[in-house]
Chain A
Amino acid sequence: MKHQITYSREHALFLKKCRRHTVIVQLFRVGVLAALLGLWECVAAFGWADPFLTSSPSRICATVASLYREGTLFYHIGVTLAETIVGFLIAVALGTSIALALWWSESLRQVAEPYIVVLNALPKIALGPLIIIWFGTGSNAIVFMTVLVGLIVSVMHMLGAFVATDKNKLLLLRSMGANKIQILTKLVLPSSRAAFISMLKVNVGMAWIGSIMGEYIVSKAGLGYLIVYGGQVFKLDLVMSATCILCLLAAGMYFLVVLLEKKLVKSAER
């Protein structure tokens, strides 16, 4: 049986105000983008700056269209996307597994700590030459770079969450006679879901840094390759185009993680 809840006039007004606020925020979001693109276009169209250096939205569209006609647009996108996603998945899976092992054994954790600190601080790009020599000039090298950039962050993020498991809940489970596997599956893993999602979000950014950085060092194709190539031959339209496509892809990947979050963490639990 459903019954209708009737709100007071004041509440109806309040709701109306909330909705209006949301609409205004959305309008401004779109408005700011439109204004920036418009301004950019004007800068080029009216010759306020040299469009050869600044490019412009219309030139970007033309560049993307010509890449599409040449049939290389989706090839480059596909290469970078594949490298990024494979690297992302490996970093997340491996990082979480390592964090689990470190949670399991406190001694291992103590031994590993200084290594993790150093590896975290090390600028991964310093390993560029080594990676080329070890993995050649193909996608393997770029995937490896992507994993390298995301891995330690994943380990630290997840280990932090595992170790921060509520002490009283641990005591409760131990009082029930739970063994370590049960503590892991019933408490530590489920209570780390929020941290897992936030680790994924951080790693979306890390994966793109890794793959583009990898393509800067060594590549024959991909969006990073287009950016480097465009820079070298002074085709800034190409650089801007690839960058804009990157923005869209990164936003899309982030959005997928948010969808996963909605699926994993039900609102009723909060």
Chain B
Amino acid sequence: MTSATTISGHQGLQMDEPLIFELDSPGSSGVDLPPPPKVKSRLGAVAARNGVGLPGLSEPEVVRHYTRLSQKNYAIDSGFYPLGSCTMKHNPRLNEKMARLPGFADVHPLQPVSTVQGALELIDTLAGWLKTLTGMKAVALSPAAGAHGEMCGMMAIAAAHEHRGGPARKRVLVPESAHGTNPATAAALGMTVEAIPATEDGRIDLPAFKAKLGFDVAAVMLTNPNTCGLFEREVKALADAVHEAGAFLYCDGANFNAIIGRVRVADLGVDAMHINLHKTFSTPHGGGGPGSGPVVFSEALAPFIPLPAIIHDDDGYRLIETQDDDDGTALAFGRMKAFHGQMGVFVRALAYSLSHGADGLYQASADAVLSANYILAKLKDTFNAPFEGPCMHEALFDDKSLKGTGVSTLDIAKALIDEGFHPMTVYFPLVVHGAMLIEPTESESKRSIDQFIATMKGLAERAKTDAASFHAAPTLAPRRRLDETAAARKPILKWKK
């Protein structure tokens, strides 16, 4: 149902756009081709009998259709996008200019290595930045995004245990303050996941971990800063205990933006950590561009990292595709992807790094944390903050202050849409009731953050007197509230006439 009451279904210049198949006008076409010459068909039984079912539209209709759809895509380029845990930061246009250079944009992964030396140098240079920023020994660049990176890290850990021999290690301990993908990754690899509850202040419970550690534990997976937006202070002590038990420490680096340039992950005793280039190193994401999740590794895990590897020697840059003693890749556990990884994102990530410089990255994490703390400080008297600040790069509130108003966290999110903001992350992390997780990133100006804060305060005020208006929200968006339950229970995945 649309909220419009117009005859056309459009609202102002916001068009109500049907599916392209519903725009079908049989016989319409964007091209004027001469009729095909009369030839005897040799297709026989394999000839298409029922047509291919493509809709008929003129060229202007097609252009309008996709232009209108693109205008419906709310993006960081259109406004504030405080989706917690997603680091929706600005993608500098310089990145785009670099990514479009023909030497990067038009290369093919199967080209002879001698013709892509520059591209390989770029990958190798980026690898150097990631190793320097984390203090880690090695990096695998091919993983496609965060969860794929987690899998890569955990597969290296499994390979290391196998190489070392001894009894099977299948248990993985995961704190409740970790990202949900962490236990999912371990379970997907056939490991048994044990969740360890967080402490009252939203952090890992070190004594609880120590009690659970044993010689059948493969790894501990944690997220730092954790998903409550808090820095895990006892990581080093945890890492020491983990190593003493012969296990490895995996760190989810999705929140690296809060600590980049300030914390050397290697100093914390981490053995493997993925870095979301599409978050921390800008590059478009979230319905836009692809992800990229390189994984950095400690010395203990470095021999097991997946192929391909890039080696720089007297012959220039070489691409190592198979396990080889001479190249130090004999123990590589295999590969995560057919090719080298997400080249377009590598270019943007390196452009981001070089244009900021080390001092710029140091500044960026400070600004990201400052923005979040500004929101926390300004809103904590309006909404309840379950954990004492200061926070890292995201501010977390629960729904305690909404109690008795009849307005829920979801209602606040929907009302924000009417106000022209992308909602924050809601109901996550699960350990916080009615969670609202707000990540402003360093991209936002004080003006835009102040506008958001004023809106949140206004909504909280309205919630006390006018719950009904929230239940109706959004009223100004192209669609009203969608039936999420029906969409999940009975999804329509295929267009039918």
Chain A bound to chain B: no
